[in-house]
Amino acid sequence: MDVYEAIRTKRAVRQFADKPIPQEALLKILDAGRLAGSSKNIQPWDFIVIRDRARLKALSECGPWAGHLAGAAVGIALVTGDWRERWPVAFDLGRAAQNMMLTAHEMGIGSVMANIYDMDKAHALLQLPEDKMCYAAISFGYPADPQKWQRPPRRGRKRALADVVHWETW
Amino acid sequence: MDVYEAIRTKRAVRQFADKPIPQEALLKILDAGRLAGSSKNIQPWDFIVIRDRARLKALSECGPWAGHLAGAAVGIALVTGDWRERWPVAFDLGRAAQNMMLTAHEMGIGSVMANIYDMDKAHALLQLPEDKMCYAAISFGYPADPQKWQRPPRRGRKRALADVVHWETW
For A102-124, write each residue's pLDDT tens digit.
999 999 999 999 999 999 999 99
Q: Which chain A residues touch B100 with a CB distance below 8 Å?
A: none
> Of chain A residues 57-76, which have a CB less than 8 A from chain B?
none
Contact with chain B for residue A42, Cβ under 8 A: no
Q: Count the neighbouring beta carbons within 10 Å of the beta carbon of residue B134.
A: 22
Label residue A22 exposed, middle or buried (CB < 10 Å: 0-12, 13-18, 19+).
exposed
Q: What is the pLDDT of residue A88?
A: 95
Q: Which chain A residues touch B101 with a CB distance below 8 Å?
A: 37
Q: Contact B37/A4, CB-based, under 8 Å?
A: no
Tell me if B148 sits within 8 A of B107, measured CB to CB.
no
Q: What is the pLDDT of residue A156?
A: 79
Domain boundaries, chain A: 3-145
Q: What is the pLDDT of residue A152?
A: 77
For B67-91, write each residue's pLDDT tens digit.
999 999 999 999 999 998 899 999 9
Report phi then psi at A55, rounded to 5.
-70, -40
For A33-77, write each residue's pLDDT tens digit.
999 999 999 999 999 999 999 999 999 999 999 999 999 999 999
Average pLDDT, chain A: 96
> Of chain A residues 137-156, which have a CB less than 8 A from chain B?
none
SS3 B126: coil
Q: What is the pLDDT of residue A151?
A: 79
Q: How many angstroms separate the CA of residue A151 from the nearest CA in chain B? A: 15
Q: Contact B90/A87, CB-based, under 8 Å?
A: yes
Kindly state the average pLDDT of the residues A130-155: 90
- When the candidates are 3.40.109.10, 3.40.1670.10, 3.40.50.10320, 3.40.630.30, the CATH number that belongs to B3-146 is 3.40.109.10
Contact with chain B for residue A82, Cβ under 8 A: no
Q: What is the pLDDT of residue B6?
A: 97
User: Residue A147 — very low, low, confident or very high, per pLDDT cuts 50/70/90?
Assistant: confident
Q: What is the pLDDT of residue B141?
A: 98
The per-residue b/e assignment along A138-169, b for 16 or more CB within 10 angstroms, e otherwise, is bbbbbbbeeeebeeeeeeeebeeeeebbbeee
Residue A4: which of B8, B106, B135 has the nearest Cβ? B106
Q: Contact B99/A7, CB-based, under 8 Å?
A: yes
Q: What is the pLDDT of residue B150?
A: 79
Residue A90: which of B2, B90, B99 has the nearest Cβ? B90
Q: Which fold has domain A3-145?
A: NADH Oxidase (3.40.109)
Contact with chain B for residue A17, Cβ under 8 A: no
pTM over 0.90: yes
CA distance B114 to B136: 6
Q: Contact B7/A129, CB-based, under 8 Å?
A: no
Residue of A95, A103, A126, A154 to mutate for B, most B C-beta atoms under 10 A = A95
Q: What is the pLDDT of residue B149?
A: 78
Ranges under pLDDT 70 in chain B: none
CA distance A98 to A94: 6
CA distance B31 to A89: 25
